[in-house]
Amino acid sequence: MSSRSWVGLILVLFGGAFLLQQANIFDFTSFLSTWWPLVFIIIGIIQMSQRGSITVIPGLLFIFIGVLLIANQWLDTNLWTYLWPLLLIFIGLSFIFSRSRKGKAPNDENHIRSISIFSGADLRNRSTHFRGGQVTTLFGGAEIDLRKSIMQEDGASLDITSIFGGATVIVPENVKVIASGIPIFGGWEDKTIQTESNGDAPILNLNCHVIFGGVEIKN
């Protein structure tokens, strides 16, 4: 299921829950005040379900934060004292199991994959059959330059996860961008120039999962 479909499903569920509250069948506001960390768990599940994911680490991190917030409400122990040691473990696992490609050297691979943790990535792609990929930033940043890439008629899909970080995506002028995703205390901004000739252009689908971060899209 695409990120767009997930967002639509979540909106339908929230709308239905508020309808039940208006009919005095279910107190959704009270439920939400206690179980709002489930949002993080849902985002983690969505992230792990995306096709072409480089690792499950970003999704597990979202789920971990959600579980920690829920457990912290129900247990007497302050679980936040365990946050930083566990976060270091997640970062270590990311370095061990990820295959990030960092640096300024251009590549011609059809898929790009990168994880930036407390660092930055400068990615330049010149593939003649660009299909997309996944870029994750955690307390870091990434610049993805796709101006030399060529996308086929069926387009490409790029997943961007930004947690306390940011990403900049530079796309060719002959590409149409469709951005969607789940922003939490963050968002994305599409600065691309759209012309009438873009109507039949290849489509780059950007799936953005942003928490305290941002994604900038430009030509």
| 219 residues of the chain, pLDDT tens digit each | 555 566 667 778 888 888 988 888 888 888 877 788 888 888 777 767 665 444 566 677 778 888 888 887 777 667 667 777 777 777 676 666 555 444 444 577 888 888 877 677 888 888 888 988 888 887 788 999 999 888 888 889 998 888 888 899 999 888 889 888 878 878 888 888 776 666 678 889 998 888 888 899 998
Count of residues making up the chain: 219
Q: Which residues of 11-43 are buried (b: 16+ CB within 10 A; e: fewer)?
A: eeeeeebeeebeeeeeebeeeeeeeebebbbbb
pTM exceeding the 0.75 threshold for the entire prediction: no
What is the per-residue pLDDT for 95?
A: 63
Q: Output DSSP code: residue 8.
A: H
Helix axes of 3-22 and 28-35: crossing angle, nearest 10 degrees: 130
The structure tokens 């999704």 sit at: 59
**Are 174 and 198 within 8 A, CB to CB?**
yes
What is the per-residue pLDDT for 103?
A: 45
What is the per-residue pLDDT for 102?
A: 45
Residue 15: how many CA atoms within 13 Å on its side-chain side?
6
